[in-house]
Amino acid sequence: MRVIKSAAMIVNAKSRKGQDLFEHACAAMKGLPFPVDAHAVHDPKDLEATMDAALARKPDLMILGGGDGTVSGLVDKLVSTDIALAVLPLGTANSFARTLGIPLDIDGAIGVIAGGHFKRIDLGMIDDDYFANGAAIGIAPQIAQSIPHNLKKYLGRVGYLGWAAWEFLHFKPFTLIIGEGPSERRIAAVEVRISNGPYHGGTEVNDKAAVDNGVIVVQAVTGHVKRRLVKNWAASLLRLDARHETTEEFIGTSLRIRTEPPLPISIDGEVLATTPVTARIAAGVIEVMVPAPEAAA
């Protein structure tokens, strides 16, 4: 049984809620049975250096506060260590927290940390870069590259969806190529989701993906016209079976992905790669704090 004697907390204070909730989190964590070395990082460029300094003190637990991009950008540093991860969902979509069943309010998330329940999970990989929840090809990277930071910070999902509608006007379908050689598949696509978990953009879109099943799932929203993407997202938001009518999944431990033309890839909201890439699964490489099974039920 894992015992936590010390923890470090790093909060991305530039995330949507980070600045406002850092002090709240610090106050709530005073009730934990172990000390927490807390850091609010106001410049995202300082996140890695701050985490390196915190890891040098050898905590048993690393608490990351921010959005999906913050977690994915730092989770690499926990691979091959014995340090567990806890998540404070302070971002816009919080897809990774939703995947883990973590409450989206600060007190609920800290309650999970106090509960002391751990789960070993997979991480996804795009080439050699680990990610927590999901990557995307299509309109999501286009939005991530162009959205004004303050729009996302102050208006949250409403602002994100409004900007997405604007970018949708300039978006074009593309060709997805999965695999190589004689077995490759070519598909007309309007979006591709590379999934370690079922949520993208805070919406459950891929029910074949899970953080503990040992596979990566590539889901293509198929078709030559953009309205196919609108139909799929609408059906996903409403949890309709029709969301499966416009998708095709590819499942494996390693999948080669190309597009025509080459396209950027957003990894948990941050544009960090360009096709072609290899999507892989790193099975069971970290432990993370999650609600106890009875609480999740």
Query: Which domain CATH number covers 106?
Result: 3.40.50.10330
Residue 153 CA to its chain's centroid (Å):
17
Over range 53-78, report the average pLDDT.
95
At residue 260 the predicted structure's pLDDT band, cuts being 50, 70 and 90, is: very high
Q: Which domain holds residue 104?
A: 7-122+286-296
Give the CATH number, domain containing residue 271: 2.60.200.40
The answer as to whether 2 is a domain residue is no
Over range 22-37, report the average pLDDT.
92
CA distances from 20 to 23, 91, 102, 275 (A): 7, 12, 20, 37
Say yes or no: 117 and 169 in one domain: no
Say yes or no: 109 and 235 in one domain: no
Q: Look at the chain and report how many structural domains it folds into.
A: 2
The answer as to whether 182 is a domain residue is yes
Say yes or no: 11 and 105 in one domain: yes
The closest alpha carbon to 268, from 15, 5, 2, 32, belongs to: 15
- Whether the Cβ atoms of residue 116 and residue 4 lie closer than 8 Å to each other: yes
pLDDT at residue 16, rounded to an integer:
57
What is the residue whose two structure tokens read 């060709």?
175
Taking the C-alpha atoms of residue 50 and residue 59, their distance in angstroms, rounded to an integer, is 14
The answer as to whether 39 is a domain residue is yes
- From 84-88, 148-152, 202-206, the region with the lowest mean pLDDT: 148-152
Residue 49 CA to its chain's centroid (Å):
21
Say yes or no: 38 and 145 in one domain: no
